[in-house]
């Protein structure tokens, strides 16, 4: 019976020692808990910024595709205008009185195509500008993701080598990333 009591006392002693060690560790480095929380927060914001960067890249590509379509349409209308103008010139050179109505119609169609081209040009130019703006926003959010990834990496190293000063640098980098994120969302 005494052996059992001694064994239990030994286990209790080990248990008490383990609890004391845990309390010491908690008192010694409570900042590690905050490091873990800040790192998780940086990771969440980086994930959201990554989604936004991808969204703006897709928008830029779609609008650039639409602008390209508009420029092709612009060119087609230009070709039609040139064709109608040439038709009118040929008919005028033939100098046939019956062709006067056809000549006037061809000239009117050529002018209509040229006017339509201006509208198409405005649409294409606007789409290109929107595409450029979306690409700039994509780049902004890509920089945010990179900044936050640097903060996460610094936090991991700070945890591994238990250097609070390195964590402070990670917090600064993370704060820069968060400010950039808020600026990108608000100002857009």
Residue 5, domain member (yes or no) = no
pLDDT of residue 168: 96
Res. 60: pLDDT tops 70? yes
| pLDDT at residue 76 is higher than 80 | yes
Domain extent, residue 120, equals 33-186
pLDDT of amino acid 24: 65
Average pLDDT over residues 147-174: 95
What average pLDDT score do residues 118-132 get?
92
**In the chain, which ranges are continuous DSSP H helix?**
2-28, 31-94, 100-161, 164-186
- Other Cβ atoms less than 10 A from the Cβ of 46: the count is 22
Query: Is residue 5's pLDDT more than 60?
Result: no
Nearest 10 degrees: Cα torsion 27, 32, 37, 42: 150
Residue 74 contacts by C-beta under 8 Å, 6 or more apart in sequence?
117, 120, 121, 124
Q: At what angle do helices 100-161 and 31-94 cross, to 10 degrees?
A: 170
Q: Is residue 18 part of a domain?
A: no
User: What total of structural domains would you count in the chain?
Assistant: 1
The pLDDT assigned to 109 comes to 85
Please report whether residue 156 resides in a domain. yes
């Amino acid at each position: 019976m005494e052996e059992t009591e001694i064994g239990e006392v030994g286990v209790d002693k080990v248990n008490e020692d383990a609890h004391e060690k845990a309390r010491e560790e908690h008192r010694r480095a409570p900042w590690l808990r905050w490091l873990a929380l800040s790192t998780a927060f940086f990771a969440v914001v980086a994930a959201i910024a990554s989604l936004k960067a991808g969204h703006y890249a897709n928008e830029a590509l779609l609008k650039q595709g639409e602008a390209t379509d508009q420029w092709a349409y612009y060119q087609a209308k230009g070709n039609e205008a040139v064709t109608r103008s040439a038709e009118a010139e040929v008919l005028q050179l033939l100098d046939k009185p019956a062709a006067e109505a056809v000549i006037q119609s061809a000239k009117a169609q050529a002018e209509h195509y040229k006017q339509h081209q201006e509208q198409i040009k405005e649409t294409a130019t606007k789409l290109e500008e929107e595409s450029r703006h979306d690409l700039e926003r994509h780049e902004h959010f890509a920089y945010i993701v990179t900044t936050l990834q640097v903060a996460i990496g610094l936090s991991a190293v700070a945890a591994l080598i238990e250097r609070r000063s390195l964590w402070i640098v990670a917090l600064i980098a993370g704060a820069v990333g968060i400010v950039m994120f808020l600026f990108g969302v608000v100002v857009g």
